């Protein structure tokens, strides 16, 4: 099985395609639920599959600390370990390590850091990060990079980007190529289009199976983020998958799909599910709100998840007010289901040549708000 992305239809800059991997095919555009530590929080693997998700994301930083890549490898790899035979993309762990601030020290070789769990010292380099992902049996391996902080001056962003490009070359040299597996390079450069272009030029010279846009949704605002995408995405190779890392809200997804992005991940739907926020076809609801207390209707009448087909808003409200764990479980399943439904709708609109009208309709429904 050769790894690759085939575009089957376009509508403007947007693309509908198929991502073919050693662990199965996935239709794009696609949202990947985040399974940071080998699980999508509050969901079984069967529940994740029931939402329509075909690929999930794991995180090297968390898995290397607990339970350890050696242990996962001995137990048959991450696919077997978490009951997910489909494709898995793993973040290199760079973002998490860079977020440790006082607990890490970066140099040309890599990053030395102390675990947030027990304070033990570890060393993450491009070679180590790539090797750990190999042990996990990641379908898609990400290069180690430095996520440029925001705000950053042009010089700061340039220095950061150039280090990431040197790390990308080392990550690629450490990658063990095999049929159906891939490694993605990550375009950096902050909010500066010229640096983004230089970053991509360096990555293209190295050569990767796919390309990600990193370092966004870190505080720059949606308008700036979309401006960076407008300048960057058209430069990405048309025959390779395009991945926007860590994004985002449903509106972010619609806007990015319209600009030609194929793949997304974000903790937002699962995190929101644990804090009583429901993403719906009519916008965002707070299930703790007293107006749901006596409401016998579903969270979203347009949704087919368990929370919506078998339970009421009143029940979800009760669960969260009573601090019952079932509340976060049901609402997380709903949110992930909604994200998958949103992506299916966008794909169908691209295939039918009606994306502009479809996106306008989705946004109009959000703006109209909840009718209850």
Q: In this structure, what are the phi and psi dihedrals at residue 22, rounded to the nearest 5 degrees?
A: -65, -20
Let me know if 239 is a catalytic residue.
no
| Omega before 248 within 30 of 0, i.e. cis | yes
d(CA 361, CA 118): 49
What does DSSP assign to residue 39?
S
d(CA 82, CA 244): 25
Residues facing residue 56 across a β-bridge: 88
Query: Residue 286 is encoded by which pair of tokens?
Result: 């707070």
- The one catalytic residue in 91, 137, 145, 252 is 91
Let me know if 265 is a catalytic residue.
yes
Cα–chain-centroid distance for residue 175? 21
**Region of residue 244 (left: phi > 0; alpha: psi -120 to 50; beta: else):** beta
Helix ranges, the chain (H): 45-50, 60-65, 69-74, 78-81, 94-98, 126-136, 154-174, 193-206, 222-232, 250-258, 268-274, 306-310, 313-321, 326-352, 355-368
Contact 22, 139 (CB under 8 A): yes
- The one catalytic residue in 11, 145, 262, 265 is 265
d(CA 217, CA 290): 32
The catalytic residues are 91, 265
């Amino acid at each position: 099985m050769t790894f690759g992305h085939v575009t089957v239809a376009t509508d403007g800059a947007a693309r509908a395609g198929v991502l073919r991997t050693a662990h199965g095919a996935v239709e794009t555009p696609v949202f990947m639920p985040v399974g940071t530590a080998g699980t999508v929080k509050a969901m079984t693997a069967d529940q994740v599959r029931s939402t329509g998700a075909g690929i999930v994301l794991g995180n090297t930083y968390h898995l290397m600390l607990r339970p350890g890549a050696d242990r996962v490898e001995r137990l048959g790899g991450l696919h077997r370990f978490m009951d997910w035979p489909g494709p898995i993309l793993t973040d290199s762990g760079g973002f998490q390590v860079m977020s440790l601030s006082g607990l890490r020290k970066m140099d040309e070789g890599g990053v030395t850091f102390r675990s947030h769990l027990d304070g033990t010292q570890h060393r993450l380099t491009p070679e180590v990060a790539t090797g750990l992902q190999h042990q996990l049996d990641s379908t898609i391996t990400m290069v180690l990079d430095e996520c440029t902080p925001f705000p950053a001056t042009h010089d700061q962003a340039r220095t950061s980007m150039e280090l990431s490009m040197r790390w990308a070359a080392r990550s690629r040299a450490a990658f063990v190529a095999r049929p159906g597996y891939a490694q993605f390079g990550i375009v950096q450069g902050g909010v500066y289009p010229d640096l983004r272009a230089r970053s991509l030029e360096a990555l293209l010279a190295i050569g990767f199976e796919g390309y990600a846009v990193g370092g966004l949704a870190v505080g720059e605002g949606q308008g700036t983020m979309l401006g960076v995408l407008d300048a960057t995405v058209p430069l990405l190779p048309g025959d390779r998958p395009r991945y926007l890392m860590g994004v985002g809200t449903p509106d972010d997804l619609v806007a990015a799909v319209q600009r030609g992005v194929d793949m997304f991940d974000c903790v937002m739907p699962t995190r929101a599910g644990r804090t009583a926020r429901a993403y719906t076809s009519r916008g965002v609801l707070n299930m703790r709100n007293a107006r749901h207390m006596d409401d016998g209707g579903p969270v979203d009448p347009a949704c087919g998840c368990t929370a919506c087909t078998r339970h009421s808003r009143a029940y979800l409200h009760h669960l969260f007010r009573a601090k019952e764990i079932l509340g976060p479980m049901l609402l997380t399943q709903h949110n992930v289901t909604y994200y998958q439904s949103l992506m299916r709708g966008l794909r169908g609109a691209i295939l039918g040549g009606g994306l502009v009208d479809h996106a306008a309709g989705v946004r109009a429904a959000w703006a109209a708000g909840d009718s209850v």
